[in-house]
Structure 1
Amino acid sequence: MVEFLLPWMQRLEGSAFGALMRSSELFYPAANLLHLAGLVMLLGAMLLLDLRLLGLAREVPVQAASRRLTPIGIAGLLLMLLTGFCLFAADAGPLLGNWLLQLKLLLVALGIINALLFRALWTASLEHWDLRPPLAGRLQVGLSILLWCGAMAAGRLLAYV
Structure 2
Amino acid sequence: MEPILTAVAAWLDMTGIGPWSRGSALVYPVANTLHLLGLVMLVGGIGTVDLRIVGLWQRLPVADLSRALTPVAVAGLVLMVASGVVLFAADGAALARSAIFERKLILIIAALANAAAFRRVWNPHMTRWTDGAPLAARVMAGASLLLWLAAGASGRWIAYG
TM range (shorter): over 0.9
Say which SS state the counterpart of residue 56 (structure 2) adopts. coil
**Structure-2 residue corresponding to 1:103:** 103
Distance 1:127 1:5 in 2: 42
Distance 2:160 2:4 in 1: 26
Distance 1:56 1:17 in 2: 43
**Structure-2 residue corresponding to 1:41:** 41
Deviation at 1:114, TM superposition (A): 0.5
Q: Summarize deviations over 1:26-52 as a string: whole Å, max 9, x none.
A: 111111100000000001111111011
**Structure-2 residue corresponding to 1:52:** 52
Distance 2:22 2:89 in 1: 8
Q: Summarize deviations over 1:81-109 as a string: whole Å, max 9, x none.
A: 01000100011111011001100011111
Deviation at 1:11, TM superposition (A): 4.1
Question: RMSD of aligned C-alpha atoms?
Answer: 1.4
- The letter of the residue matching 1:105 is L
The 4+ residue runs of structure 1 with deviation greater than 3 A are: none
Deviation at 1:141, TM superposition (A): 0.9
Distance 2:149 2:140 in 1: 14
How many residues align? The count is 161
- The letter of the residue matching 1:12 is L
Distance 1:106 1:160 in 2: 19
Say which SS state the counterpart of residue 136 (structure 1) adopts. helix
Q: What TM-score, normalized by structure 1, do the two folds share?
A: 0.94
Distance 1:13 1:93 in 2: 10
For structure 2, list consecutive stretches of 5 or more residues without a partner in the other structure: none
Distance 1:123 1:7 in 2: 37
**Structure-1 residue corresponding to 2:9:** 9
Identity of aligned residues (%): 42
Most deviating of 88-97 and 16-25: 16-25
For structure 1, list consecutive stretches of 5 or more residues without a partner in the other structure: none
Q: Is the alpha carbon distance of 1:28 and 1:4 closer, same or farther for their aligned partners in structure 2, counting shifts above 3 Å?
A: closer
Distance 2:51 2:5 in 1: 38
1:13/1:93 contact within 8 Å kept:
no
- The letter of the residue matching 2:24 is S
- The letter of the residue matching 2:110 is L
Distance 1:30 1:48 in 2: 26
